[in-house]
Structure 1
Amino acid sequence: MDTTHETAAPAEAEVDESRLRWWERRTEWPMVALSVLFLGLYAWMVLDTGLSPRAHARIDGVMWAVWAAFAVDYAVRLALARRRLRFVLRNIFDLLVLVLPLLRQLRVLRLVVVLLTLNRRVQARVRGQVVLYVTGAVVLLGTSAALAVLEVERTAPDAEITTFGDALWWTMTTVTTVGYGDYYPVTGQGKLIAAGLMVAGIALLGVVTGSIASWFVDRFGGLEQSMSASADATRRLDAESDQLRAEIVALREEITALRKEITSR
């Protein structure tokens, strides 16, 4: 009876969690579209220095509305999750980047919400396509970081990063952990972005290194299996050859014995 109860409990949990998966499937593409919209508006706001204060405020308002949609999505997923504490612990970073942008100094973290959403929704679609996933992640991360660091740096005193080209170059040298040092952030927010970019760069390099190592293991593993199979086939042929030789020797002995018997007669 206890075994039946233990077996039924996970099944029940699986049925309950299906509501969460249903919601995530239904909101997958709308959330991706909102993420792309947010990135487009953010790039427009940062790169178009001729925006009027009124237009800037309108764009910022739409971006906050998109961020609010992300917050609603998190709240709905939390409500649908059967194990809510487990859900919160597994998505603690999502919660932090939803709450922290309420502080004016950390509003740039709204970009993190977008990046997390895109990663969560798209990762399942390109699972197994490591090259595509890593390439897309590098381009998306690099562009977002360049826009973010340009926004917080270009108006700072003694700023080193004042153009989008400078920001892109700094992003490339940082995410690849090269760090030439010709451009560097001078503000607190810029240094926060740099720290996050460094961590992301190390993680992406780890994915690339692991993929290359896995490729070599597969290639050489297949070669080793092929060589092992060839050695087994050679051993089987040798055994068959030895058996044939033994049979030939036995036949010769029988023929010799028959000849002797016929001669004696």
Structure 2
Amino acid sequence: MKEQSAQVRWERRTQRPLLALAVAFAIAYAVPIVRPEAGESVTRACTAVEWSVWGAFAVDYLVRLALAERRARFVRTHWLDLCAVILPMIQPLRLLRLVSTLLLVGRRARMASQIQLTTYVVGAVVGLLMFGSLAVLSVERESPDGNIKTLGDAVWWSFTTMTTVGYGDHAPTTGLGRVLAVGLMLSGIALLGVVTANIAAWFIARFEKDDAEERRQTAAIESLTAEVIALRAQVSALSGGPVKTTVPRQAAAEDSVGEAGPPISSPRS
């Protein structure tokens, strides 16, 4: 229990720094693609930032593994984090570092209870659009048969691909570009399903709340009706039978004499 508390404290303390590092990774990844004319020193600096951010997420995974109470269970339940950490070590490509960093950022963002689902979905959409555009531009720009040559073309292609519209005016021609297209399509469908489920859950919760309020009001009305019926019964009992029996005896005797007439005097002897 003590180790688990230490793990929770570590995750809470490193949440914002890791998100800041993810922003730095995004900038370092985008600069060489958007500005290909940048010097060799800028490219090397951006590459160093990318590897540093990936290393920070790898260290975070190792620390959480060390602080976990059941490490075997932690590895089984966080296998995607492990794959994201190992993936760039197998083949040091910038695209693999991009995928692994996105996976790690997404996993850590879902752990934060203060991040709402809507915020996470919006961030995921923006991130996928941006990184998808940059990734496809980096692999399609030098293709002789490619038609995605500018950042505007890449963003338009990413948007139409994620929404599964697919106008066809821009399409990847390389194998890696088509793999990116498949990933964006699946991600777009998944995010659309999450948004739809979130909206449906909101409506269902709203209807259940209204139904519960209606049931509460109905129960209150029924309870009030029962009290009114009981009060009527008590009033009827008090004003009906018991009133007649409480008439004074003297008044009752005088009434009986008045109805029978004056008393007949007996003859004197």
TM-score (norm 1): 0.80
Match of 1:68 among 28, 34, 55: 55
Does the 8 Å CA contact 2:24/2:49 hold for their aligned counterparts?
no
Residue number in structure 2 paired with 1:212: 199
* Partner Cα separation in structure 1 for residue 172 and residue 129 of structure 2: 15
2:132 counterpart residue number:
145
Is 1:255 equivalent to 2:243 in the alignment?
yes
**Residues 103 and 194 of structure 1, relative CA distance in 2, 3 Å threshold:** farther
Q: Give, in whole Å, the separation in 2 of the partners of 1:198 and 1:190.
A: 12
List aligned pairs for 1:16-27, cutoff 5 A. Answer: 16-27=3-14
Deviates more, 1:116-125 or 1:184-193: 116-125
**Matching residue of 1:33:** 20
Other-structure match for 1:235: 222
State the identity %.
Answer: 45
Q: Does structure 1 conserve the Cα–Cα contact (< 8 Å) formed by 2:81 and 2:107?
A: no
In the alignment, is residue 77 of structure 1 matched against residue 76 of structure 2? no
2 CA distance for matches of 1:21 and 1:244? 59
TM-score of the aligned structures, taking structure 2 as reference length: 0.79
The reply on whether 1:127 has 2:152 as its aligned counterpart is no
Residue 173 (structure 2) pairs with residue 183 (structure 1): no
Deviation per residue, 1:172-211 (Å, 9 max, x gap): 2222333333322222222222222223223322322222
Structure 1, unaligned runs of 5 or more:
1-13
Residues 70, 113 of structure 1: 8 Å contact kept: no
Greater C-alpha radius of gyration: 2
Q: Which amino acid aligns with 1:24?
A: E
What are the ranges of 5 or more consecutive residues in structure 2 without an aligned counterpart?
Answer: 258-269
For the residue of structure 2 that corresponds to 1:43, the secondary structure is helix
Matched to 2:19, the amino acid is: V
2:245 & 2:52 partners in 1: Cα distance? 104
Which AA in structure 1 matches 2:26?
Answer: L
- Does residue 161 of structure 1 match 2:148? yes
**In structure 2, do the counterparts of structure 1 residues 255 and 49 end up closer, same or farther at CA, with 3 Å as the change threshold?**
same
Q: Which residue, 184, 187, 192 being the options, matches 1:197?
A: 184
Is the CA contact 2:87–2:100 (under 8 Å) kept in the aligned structure 1? Answer: no
Number of positions where the alignment pairs a residue of Structure 1 with one of Structure 2: 252
Task: Note if 1:87 corresponds to 2:84.
Answer: no
Partner of 1:9: none
CA drift at 1:19? 4.3
Q: 1:213-263, CA deviations, whole angstroms, 9 ceiling, x for partnerless residues?
A: 222122211211121122112212222222233223322233345569724
Output the CA distance in 1 between the equivalents of 2:92 and 2:53.
19
